[in-house]
Amino acid sequence: MTDMDRRGLLKAGIAVLAGAALAPGVTLIRAFADGGEGTSSSPSASKIRWGMVIDANKCTEKCQECTNACRTENNVPFFGDERWDGHWIRKATLTPEIEGARSRSLPLLCNHCENPPCQHVCPVAATFTRHDGIVMIDKHRCIGCRYCMAACPYKARTYVFKQPDAWSNPDVPKRDKGVVEKCTFCAHRLDQGRLPACVEACNKSGEKAMIFGDLNDPKSEIYKYIRELSPKGIREDMGLKPKVYYSGI
């Protein structure tokens, strides 16, 4: 099938889906229509711009609630073997060089950069930005070249080397081996009016180290937090404009 044929089919599919009830897996196609063919869809034009703040002062080193919840929610491949396991969110420990200063634990995930190099290098427009600023991968278009993995300075993407037998959540589409995957901010949950699974798990654990919301909404908790406490993105000097901020680091 040529690329032109695929585009025609996608457009036809989108037209059919426009009047249909949303089924599991449709979110990605709809987002593709919104986001455009692999181009950055000027998230600032959208009313909503999802973002996250992580307070490293509240995140404890041993806690893995967010990583476990993400794995279950998103069918992230896990075999108990680093060679094959996927990672959409992982915990890191920062150890300061200053004597006596305490180390910090923090989750790392896709920053949904507003200027995403992963998207710029994708040769088949499989990586795209949704209307609300979430950077997504169309698993049907991805050819597994892994240019995006090399381009992402945050190491937020993993390659599906081996396909798991079981998928715990039918709301999230399966990824076949041979494609690249990463955090979606749980776009399928946001579209249902729910929080990302990691944030919900962190809240339930009592740590409440994550704040998630609309960066454009002056009434939102995250908007006020950023204005008042000025959390920082990791390596903001690179100019990628990450939408995950950290305080306490």
Q: Where in the chain does DSSP place strands (E)?
A: 50-55, 89-94, 104-109, 127-129, 135-137, 158-159, 180-181, 210-214, 244-247
CB of 149 to ligand SF4, least distance (A): 7
Least distance CB 145 / ligand SF4 (angstroms): 4
Distance CA(42)–CA(46), nearest Å, equals: 8
151 or 203: whose CB is closer to ligand SF4? Answer: 151
Q: Which is nearer to ligand SF4, 149 or 224 (CB)?
A: 149
Distance CA 103, CA 140 (A): 41
Burial of 213-223, coded b for 16+ CB within 10 Å and e otherwise, reads: bbbbeeebebb
Q: Closest by alpha carbon to 235, among 176, 152, 169? A: 152
SS3 content of the chain, % helix, strand, coil (to 5): 30, 15, 55
Smallest gap, in angstroms, from Cβ of residue 128 to ligand SF4?
Answer: 9
Contact present, 236 and 230 (Cβ < 8 Å): no
Write out the residues near ligand SF4 by the rule CB under 6 A.
Answer: 110-113, 116-118, 121-122, 124, 126-127, 135, 137, 142-148, 152, 154, 156-157, 180, 182, 240
- Min dist CB 151 to ligand SF4, Å, is 6
* Residue among 205 and 249 whose Cβ is closer to ligand SF4: 249
Q: Which is nearer to ligand SF4, 38 or 213 (CB)?
A: 38
Beta carbon nearer to ligand SF4, 130 or 188: 130
Q: Which DSSP string do the residues of 34-71 spell out, in sequence order?
A: HH-SSS---GGGSS--EEEEEETTT--SS--HHHHHHH
Give the nearest distance from C-beta 228 to ligand SF4 in angstroms. Answer: 25
- Give me the DSSP letters along 25-39: THHHHHHHHHH-SSS
Q: CB nearer to ligand SF4: give 12 or 143.
A: 143
Q: Measured from the CB of residue 49, what is the shortest distance to ligand SF4 in angstroms?
A: 14
